[in-house]
Structure formats: C-alpha cells, structure tokens
Amino acid sequence: MNFALTEEQQMIVDTVRGFVETEIYPHENEVERTGLVPRELGQEIARKCKELGFFACNFPEEVGGAGLDHLTFTLVERELGRGSMGLTVFFGRPSGILMACNEEQRERYLLPAVRGDKFDALAMTEPDAGSDVRGMKCFARPDGDDWIVNGTKHFISHADIADFVIVFIATGEEQTPRGPKKKITCFLVDRGTPGFEIREGYNSVSHRGYKNCILTFDDCRLPSSQVLGELHKGFDLANDWLYATRLTVAATSVGRARRAFDYALSYSAERKQFGKPIGANQGVSFKLADMITEIDAADLLTLSAAWRLDQGLPSNREIASAKVFATEMLARVTDEAIQIYGGMGLMDDLPLARFWRDARVERIWDGTSEIQRHIISRDLLRPLGA
C-alpha cells in the first residue's frame, strides 16, 4: 500500500493550490459582499485555467481534455474546494455525462464544452422531486419525431452562465412489481430554445455568487436529435454521473475543512489568554486533534474511493461513505474553528462564517446524507437477502 503522491500528482496539487490562492482568494470578499461574479472576471479565470492546461482536465485526451484519472482529478477538486465556488466554477469541469454524446452532438456540445467555448449545466431536481428522482413531473410527450416538454426544474447550479443544459425528463411510464415507474430520458437543451426559460433562482446562505436557477418548459419542442444517450435510459446515465459529483463534493469538503483548520491552528498558536497561547489549553488543543483526525480520515476515504473507480472496482458504497463522512466532518470542523476564535469567528473580517454557512448545503445536494446512508446500508444488506 503506497499512500504517496506521484511527482506529477504533487506538481498538480501545488499548481492548483497556487492558482486558487492567487486567482481566487483575492476576489472572494467582493463576491461574498455582492453575491455576484462579474462576467469579465469569470472569463479571466477560465482563460488562465486554459493557459495552465487544466480546463476540462476531467475529460480524456482524445476529446481535448487532460486525461486525468479519477484519483488525480479528485486531488484537483480537493484543492479547488479551498476557494469560493462562485469563482472556481470557471476553472472548467464540464459534466462527464457529455461523453455519452453521439458524433453529431460531440461537435455541437462535447467539444465546445471541453474547449471552454460553451458552458453546461445539469438539471434534475424539481420542486416535488428531489431525492425521489423517479417522482419527477417534468414530462415530454412524443409528437412525430419531436418531443413536447412541460414542467419545471429548480436548484439548478450555475445555469445562469450555461449555454446549454443537460436535462432529465420523464418520457413515459412502465409497470414494475413495485408499481408504475417513470421512464427517464436525458436531453440537451440550448439556451434560447422557444418555450425554454432560465430564471433566477433563490437566495442562498451557502456559496454566494454560485447561482441556482429555475428552468421552465412551456410546450418546448425538442427534436429527437437532442436526446443524450438512449431513449428512456436517462436514469442509468444519471447514476453514472452521480458517482463523480458525489466524489467531488467529498473532495471539496476536505479542501475547505483544511483551510478552516489552518485558520484555527494559526490562531491557537498566536492568540494568548492568561499569559499563554490558547492552544496550550486542552480545551483548544484537543479540538485541534479531533479536527485534523477527522479531516485526514475524510481525505483517505475520498481518495480511496477515487482509486477504486480507477481500478474498475465496485465503488458505490465507498463513494457514499466518503460523501456522507466528509460533508458532516466539514460541518463539525467549521463549527469548532469558530468556537476557537470565539466572537471574532462570526465576524465578516474572517471567512470562517462563510465556510460555516457554505458547509450546510454539502449534506443536501448531490444526494442527502440520508440517501448516502441508504446506499451504504443497502449495499451491506442486499448480499444477505435483507
């Protein structure tokens, strides 16, 4: 068992961390204050990312990506997790689901997304269908060779900057031993398509500047050429995509937790009370010990799950474990960091209150903690017939 990074992986970690510190950190306070990322700034971040050769680094070389394996890409995401998501979204990691594009779609969607000429967003969640994906009401009915779509999606991340959206829509229903079940199909929908509207979403306390949007479909006509993958097989595509996104959430949670911990550690060594550094008191030093232990454990869980993906090993339970542990660890670490700082930890002069607020959504999106525990327990019990 070798836990060391290769020379190339260490170079990538150092490069991405340096990028985040020099290109992301300086703009975070303004984004936090305004809740906005100027278009020009986003374009500048994307341009510099391309210069480094990291844009679409999660895609294989044959389509223009950097061809990083899952483990190395997870290291990239971990370092990006240190920065504001409203800014790091422009680092450019198109959805891997675009690899399902056919030849014609590759020219219109996949290759432009990899080059950074187009940004994508992915839409699944609805007001009445969050964890229950099969309960979605956004429906497409066939009309000749076209599909007529009606319905609403919400909580759609960064759709405000997207040129096209990858949308999961119900296209039928089938009978199963457990009752009727929706057939789900994935569609590629361009911004500006008649009957399709991208509206501003809700104000969130987490990840300011990283916008969520509401998508509405009002008799939106989509030709069959816009189907991504196979008809009625969108749920299979979604499952493949969720592996990667849950791993990303775990990795970014680890990165953000390490940044919060660095603040707490430095403050514990510098801040003096009763004539000595507060870190000399077990009430603080034991907090630090628990924090770093949990961070390291989450890190190893996450990297191990990524390694399993690269080896072609079953990884569903391991990824779910990494996601639930890392996101809940982040909540505890940010809370303890604030406790160490005391009242100053809640002031806008420091980013700790932002880390604390941002941490809350990680246990919800890309599969709630409850869904992750369901995946884990199901994986354990099914082989036993339970």
Residue 219's CB is within 10 A of a number of other CB atoms, namely 10
The C-alpha atoms of residue 172 and residue 183 are separated, in whole angstroms, by 5
Beta strands 120-123 and 164-176 are: parallel
CATH superfamily label, 7-96+110-115: Acyl-CoA dehydrogenase/oxidase, N-terminal domain (1.10.540.10)
* Model pLDDT for residues 122-145, shown as the tens digit of each residue: 999 999 887 777 789 999 999 999
The C-alpha atoms of residue 105 and residue 188 are separated, in whole angstroms, by 9
For the residues 281-303, what does the mean pLDDT come to? 98
% the chain with pLDDT above 70: 100
**DSSP assignment string, 155-209:** EEETGGG-SEEEEEEEEEEEEETTEEEEEEEEEEEETT-TTEEEEE----SSSTT
* Model pLDDT for residues 66-81, shown as the tens digit of each residue: 999 999 999 999 999 9
Is pLDDT above 80 for 275? yes
- The pLDDT score that the predictor gives to residue 209 is 96
Q: Is 132 helix (H, G, I), strand (E, B) or coil?
A: coil
- The pLDDT score that the predictor gives to residue 180 is 83
For the residues 245-265, what does the mean pLDDT come to? 97
Residue 205's CB is within 10 A of a number of other CB atoms, namely 11
What confidence category does residue 355 fall into, taking pLDDT thresholds of 50, 70 and 90?
Answer: very high
For the residues 80-84, what does the mean pLDDT come to? 98
Fold: same for 7-96+110-115 and 120-235: no
* Model pLDDT for residues 225-236, shown as the tens digit of each residue: 999 999 999 988
* Model pLDDT for residues 184-214, shown as the tens digit of each residue: 999 999 999 999 999 999 999 999 999 999 9
- The pLDDT score that the predictor gives to residue 386 is 85
What confidence category does residue 27 fall into, taking pLDDT thresholds of 50, 70 and 90?
Answer: very high
CATH level 3 topology of 120-235 = Butyryl-CoA Dehydrogenase, subunit A; domain 2 (2.40.110)
Alpha carbon 189 to its chain centroid, in Å, reads 21
The C-alpha atoms of residue 55 and residue 361 are separated, in whole angstroms, by 26
Query: What's 43-107 look like in SS3?
Result: HHHHHHHHHHCCCCCCCCHHHCCCCCCHHHHHHHHHHHCCCCHHHHHHHCCCCHHHHHCCHHHHH
* Model pLDDT for residues 371-380, shown as the tens digit of each residue: 999 999 999 9
Residue 312's CB is within 10 A of a number of other CB atoms, namely 7
Q: Are 295 and 78 in contact, with CB atoms under 8 Å apart?
A: no
- The pLDDT score that the predictor gives to residue 196 is 98
What confidence category does residue 175 fall into, taking pLDDT thresholds of 50, 70 and 90?
Answer: confident
For the residues 14-38, what does the mean pLDDT come to? 97
**Domain extents in the chain:** 7-96+110-115, 120-235, 243-384
- The pLDDT score that the predictor gives to residue 116 is 94
Q: Are 264 and 340 in contact, with CB atoms under 8 Å apart?
A: yes
What confidence category does residue 360 fall into, taking pLDDT thresholds of 50, 70 and 90?
Answer: very high
Bigger pLDDT: 1 vs 263: 263
For the residues 93-120, what does the mean pLDDT come to? 96
Instruction: Please list the residues that pair with 368 across neighbouring strands.
Output: none
Among 3.40.190.290, 3.20.20.100, 1.20.140.10, 1.10.150.570, what is the CATH number of 243-384? 1.20.140.10
